[in-house]
Structures are given as C-alpha cells and as structure tokens.
C-alpha cells in the first residue's frame, strides 16, 4: 500500500516536472524598450511584432528574436575630401533605433546586427557627397549648413532600411597636415601685417608730432625775432643782466669761490723788496 502511494507520488512529481519544463520553454519575456519577432520552423518569420510582457510560443517550433527599439548612440568616423581637394577627417554621432513595424523585414534582410551593416556604409556615402560640395574654409564657417544637409540626406537614406535617426551631430572635424600648416602660415602673415600697419601708423604719428614741434619752434623764433625788432638792444641787455644775476647767485653759494672788493691789494702777506 505504501509502495503504491510512493509510486503514485513519484509519477505525479515527474509529470509536474515535465509539465513545468514544457511550460518554461513555452514562455518568453519581452523587456521594456524591446520588441520580439517570431521565427517559425515551418512558415519562417512571422509579420507580427510582439510587444513587452510575457508571451507563449510553441516549443521547439517557434523561437523569439529580441530587438532593442530604444535610441542608441554610435560614432562613425569618415575620411573624405572637400571641394578644394583637402583631406577632411569627420566624425558623426548618431542616435538610431529601428522602426518596430519594420522589424520582420529588418531581420529577414539585414539580421540582428543591422546597424553594423547599414550605418557605416550610408554615413560614408552621405558625408562624401555633402562634404564635396564645400571648400575647406566653408566647412568651418558654414558648419550648421553642412550639418543640416547631412542630417536631411542621412535620415532619408536610413528610412529606406527601416531605421530612424533621432539625432545627428558633427563631433569631430579636422583637416590634413598641409591645410593646417597653410592656415597657421596665413595667421602668422596676418599678424605680421597687423604689426607692420601699427609701425606705419606709429611712424606717421611721430612724423606729425615732429612737424607740429617744428612749426612751434618756427613760430617761437618768429616771435623772438619780432620782439628783438621791437625792443632793439634793450631786450638783449635784459637777458644779459638776468644771466649775470644767475651766475652771481651760483658763485655765491660755492665754498671754493671768494669775493674781494675792487681797489684792494690782495697780496697782503708778500714781503716788500
């Protein structure tokens, strides 16, 4: 009796284990921000896109392929040429995601790694076409216009593969060594030209100052000549007296100069002969 009971319990446990295993293989989860495409061994890829949550499938017949439909970033570096044949190193940062309703087609044609197959090729194609329309200098001064043209063309090309581009931005833009050296030489030449213009302006100002000073001296000389003509010898005598007073004042302050009145014998201690 006890043996039969244990046998029944064992059979029931085995049945529950098999049922649990079958139920586990018949269930799958689709996390938030993801979608699933069902592959059927008999009919192939189904056109139905499965949303988030827990779903059933036929074990060993159907298999879910999970896609991330959230925006993801990707940097695509490209080396191309400008309109004036300058080498340009440019990098685009792209935020991309697949269209959920296009997932069966994307998986059938491109596979799960659709971004590796599509984005580098179309980005290179679009950048080469757009950058070739601008000179190297225009790529810097008209960067916003270049970015706009790249975005419009790239969004259109990506849409043909069922890929949505939420944001496109130019994060890196450099030129070849020759162009960089030419720009540096141009800057040096502009600085030299500015310095030369400053020196010319300074010399011109000094020239004007010299002319004004010479004109002032000429006017002063003319005024002195006129004064001499009006005053005659009186002005000269006045200047002579002023000069003599100044000399006498300086000599009076010197300790090495002695003053003796006129008419006195200064040889007082000499013996008489």
Residue 35 has a pLDDT of 95
Tell which CATH architecture fits domain 72-175.
Answer: 2-Layer Sandwich (3.30)
Which residue shows structure tokens 């800057």? 187
Query: Could you tell me the two tokens for 151?
Result: 């975005």
Residue 204 has a pLDDT of 84
Low-confidence residues of the chain, pLDDT below 50?
18-19, 273
| Long-range interactions of 51-58: CB distance < 8 A, separation 24+ | 53/29, 54/27, 54/28, 54/29, 54/30, 55/27, 55/28, 55/29, 55/30, 56/26, 56/27, 57/26, 57/27, 57/28, 58/26
Residue 97 has a pLDDT of 95
Letter string b/e over residues 67-103, b meaning 16 or more CB atoms within 10 A of that residue's CB: bebeeeeeebebebebeeebebebbbebebbbbbebb
Query: How far, in Å, CA of 234 to CA of 226, rounded?
Result: 13
Question: Facing residues of 163 across strands?
Answer: 98
Residue 207 has a pLDDT of 82
Where are the domains positioned within the chain? 23-67, 72-175
Residue 20 has a pLDDT of 52
Query: How far, in Å, CA of 256 to CA of 63, rounded?
Result: 125
Distance of CA 152 to the CA centre of its chain: 23
How do residues 30-86 score in pLDDT, each as one tens digit?
999 999 999 999 999 999 999 999 898 888 889 999 999 999 999 999 989 888 888
Residue 15 has a pLDDT of 58
User: Residue 222: enclosing H or E segment and its boundaries?
Assistant: helix 177-231
């Amino acid at each position: 009796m006890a043996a039969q009971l244990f046998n029944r319990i064992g059979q029931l446990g085995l049945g529950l284990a098999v049922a649990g295993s079958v139920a586990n293989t018949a269930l799958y989860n689709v996390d938030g921000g993801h979608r699933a495409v069902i592959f059927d061994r008999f009919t192939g890829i189904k056109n139905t896109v499965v949303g988030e949550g827990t779903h059933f499938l036929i074990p060993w017949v159907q298999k879910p392929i999970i896609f991330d439909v959230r925006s993801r970033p990707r940097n695509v570096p490209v080396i191309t040429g400008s309109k004036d044949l300058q080498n340009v190193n440019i990098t685009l940062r792209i935020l991309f995601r697949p269209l959920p309703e296009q997932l069966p087609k994307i998986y059938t044609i491109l596979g799960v790694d659709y971004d590796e197959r599509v984005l580098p090729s179309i980005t290179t194609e679009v950048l080469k076409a757009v950058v070739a329309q601008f000179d190297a200098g225009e790529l810097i001064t008209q960067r916003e216009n270049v970015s706009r043209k790249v975005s419009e063309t790239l969004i259109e090309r990506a849409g043909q593969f069922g890929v949505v581009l939420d944001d496109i931005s130019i994060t890196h833009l450099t030129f070849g060594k020759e162009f960089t050296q030419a720009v540096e030489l141009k800057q040096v030449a502009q600085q030299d030209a500015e310095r030369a213009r400053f020196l010319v302006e300074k010399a011109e100002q000094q020239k004007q100052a010299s002319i004004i000073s010479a004109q002032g001296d000429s006017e002063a000389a003319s005024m002195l000549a006129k004064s001499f003509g009006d005053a005659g010898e009186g002005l000269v005598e006045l200047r002579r007296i002023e000069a003599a007073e100044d000399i006498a004042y300086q000599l009076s302050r010197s300790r090495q100069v002695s003053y003796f009145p006129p008419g006195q014998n200064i040889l007082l201690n000499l013996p008489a002969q």
